[in-house]
Structure 1
Amino acid sequence: MTDSKWPKLDDATMLQRLAHPKGRVRMVLDTDTFNEVDDQFALAYSLLSPEKLELLAVTAAPFYNWNSVSPADGMEKSYNEIMNIFGLMELDPEHTPPVYRGSTQYMSSPGEPVPSEAADKIIELALTSPEPVYVVAIGAITNVASAIAKCPEIIRNLVVVWLGPNSYTWPTQKIFNVSQDYHASSLIFDCGVPLVILPCHGVASHLLTTPYEIDACLRGRNRLGTYFSDMIRGRFARFGQNRPGWSKVLWDVSAIAWLISENWVPSSVRRAPILNPGFTYSFDDSRHFYKEAIDIDRSEVYIDLFAKLQHASLSPEEAKHDQKAEHS
């Protein structure tokens, strides 16, 4: 059962919140941007989809792997990479969302939030927004869980969209965005916040691309496109990858694609699983609802993403005019 310390949404309200949003979405993007190469694509995709997404803020998430020396270092590198993407896109300051630093460590227990300006901003937006705020988390969920632990009331006005676990049928949930911070991950499943999961293996894993496709679609189109081409080729050269036949999943793009069109990323409602310390699921049909994507149309997602990235240095009005001309 959901812990009594959390505000409880009745089933009707929960199902309403889990329905695919109509109209424009007010969102926060929580991203470990320097961790890999997919966050950068997801960030740019969010900024280039103003017809559906109103990006209120971007928050830097912690990560710790071969690209960082600590969670704090990963968060700071992510913050700087967000700024780098903004610069490459040559954004008009009026259309540039504010950026906030996130957690410098992981949660030590489910009830102890990690203080950060990112968590505070999520709380502020949730408490003041006239409509639900969609927090799209594409890294460790520490910032979001800390905001909820610090101010549980925000559950009433949040929807969390998380590229985190694998499909519920997968034998393990020991995957990077979940296993970095077990306490934060388990809190997200237990607290009763409206939650939409984009599974890594089973759904997002279909978003394979290759250096050759990225070069053909993006290289030379603008500064951002060439940066993405260089990044895809450079980041993985040290591992002997990036050779003919090799492909890369742009995992995080799936979360943005779900917000843009559920026709591309169909999903279904289930009862929220319990995340065990060994990163397996247990199931209890008395628990609250959550939503999980079950498939993704790779072609539709990449057609939309590449078209928008090709116009990344244009104003929204110029890009819209240019895309109409291409399709006429």
Structure 2
Amino acid sequence: MKSIKNLLFVCSCVLLLVGCEQTTPTRISVIFDSDTNNELDDQNALAYLLFNQQVFDIKGITTCATYNGGDIDSHYNEALRVVKLCDQENEVNVIKGANNNFDQIKTTISKANFDGYEAVNFIIDEAKKIKGEKLQICAVGKLTNIALALVKAPEITDKIKVIWLGSNYPDKGEYNQENDVPSVNFVLNTNVEFEMLPCRYGALTGTDGVKIYKATIQEKIAGFGVQLNTTVKGRDGRDYTNFGDYAVTLFKNAEYYLDPPSHALFDMVTVAIMKNPKWGQKTVIPAPVIKNGVWVDRPNNTRKIIIWENYNADKMLDDFFTTLKYPHLTAFQ
């Protein structure tokens, strides 16, 4: 009888261990693709991602240049600055991507050192490594690097999922879209899994509805993040020892809207919706296309995409602020 009890005890322990192993969460494999020097939402989104490594397995940070943020070196340097401020310089690689747009580059991708080759090749290589899941690309700038990767290596189409902060769909305009419309149309006309988070300026249904109030910035952000033993020089030339203090200076130069004054955290929403899809509403639609700057729906298109809207701004912002205060830099911390 004693031996039977021992056997049952051992079996119970084995089942418990197996159960624990099965419930261990799988981190999301992600590349963050960003025009990091454009404004301030890219930096906050990147810090939010870096401080959520219990959720995300970050393969790297790829950069692209848009017209407000200078050339690719400026965007690369800003991304590297944020990585340093988050104490991840030796853990997460930053890679230079496209300076110019899709149409200017696509005919040159057979050359070894075409514009953006480092980021494009990195995306391709990481996608090919993926087994049993898709590499997710959190794209918060123009889609040039991703479109070029799909042109150069169409075999990765089924290996990646693109989550893009861009457009004002169904209305026209929006910064990321207008920086490279041909890359948007190219991606929409492939079979790559694609999700789009429209900004919708002035509307609560888009990412513009997830705002931080000017009066709360100092309280919610200043001093938070990892405290460094060394300093990192900001783009304003001053020295910083944590991301929060640097982010506050970015907000000082921002434009504020409405009353009370607020500023949208567009790009952060993309990371938040990847972390918890329950914080937004998704709709599957036939992939539209942009013609002469205007969205044209294609109701008979068999190629489908997802549109995200109607976000739970309070939960997203609460999680963002909590993450800055209590960052997770390792898996399952």
How far did 1:103 drift? 0.6
How far did 1:245 drift? 3.0
User: Which residue of the partner structure matches residue 91 of structure 1?
Assistant: 88
- Out of 274, 278, 283, the residue aligned to residue 289 of structure 2 is 274
Distance 1:224 1:243 in 2: 27
Matched, 1:152 2:167: no
Equivalenced residues, count? 282
Secondary structure class of the residue paired with 2:48? helix
- CA distance change for structure 1 residues 220 and 181 in 2, over 3 Å: closer, same or farther? same
Output the TM-score relative to the length of structure 1. 0.80
Distance 1:109 1:243 in 2: 39
How far did 1:244 drift? 7.3
How far did 1:110 drift? 9.2
Gaps of 5+ in 2: 1-24, 110-114, 226-241
Alignment of 1:144-183 (within 5 A): 144-168=146-170, 171-172=171-172, 174-183=173-182
Distance 1:232 1:115 in 2: 30
User: Which residue of the partner structure matches residue 112 of structure 2?
Assistant: none
- CA distance change for structure 1 residues 242 and 175 in 2, over 3 Å: closer, same or farther? closer
Say which is worse superposed, 202-211 or 118-127, in terms of deviation: 202-211
How far did 1:89 drift? 1.8
Matched, 1:219 2:238: no
- Out of 244, 253, 264, the residue aligned to residue 234 of structure 1 is 253
* One-letter amino acid matched to 2:56: L
Say which is worse superposed, 200-209 or 105-114, in terms of deviation: 105-114
- CA distance change for structure 1 residues 315 and 60 in 2, over 3 Å: closer, same or farther? closer
Mapped contact 1:102–1:116 kept (Cα < 8 A):
yes
Distance 1:116 1:292 in 2: 30
User: Which residue of the partner structure matches residue 10 of structure 2?
Assistant: none
User: Which residue of the partner structure matches residue 7 of structure 1?
Assistant: none
Secondary structure class of the residue paired with 2:208? helix
How far did 1:243 drift? 10
The structure that has the greater radius of gyration is 2
Secondary structure class of the residue paired with 2:67? coil
Superposition RMSD on alpha carbons, in Å?
A: 2.2
Distance 1:146 1:35 in 2: 21
- Out of 204, 207, 220, the residue aligned to residue 204 of structure 1 is 207
Secondary structure class of the residue paired with 2:277? coil
Mapped contact 2:30–2:136 kept (Cα < 8 A):
yes
How far did 1:92 drift? 6.9
User: Which residue of the partner structure matches residue 119 of structure 1?
Assistant: 120
Output the TM-score relative to the length of structure 2. 0.79
Distance 2:213 2:152 in 1: 42
Distance 2:257 2:224 in 1: 21
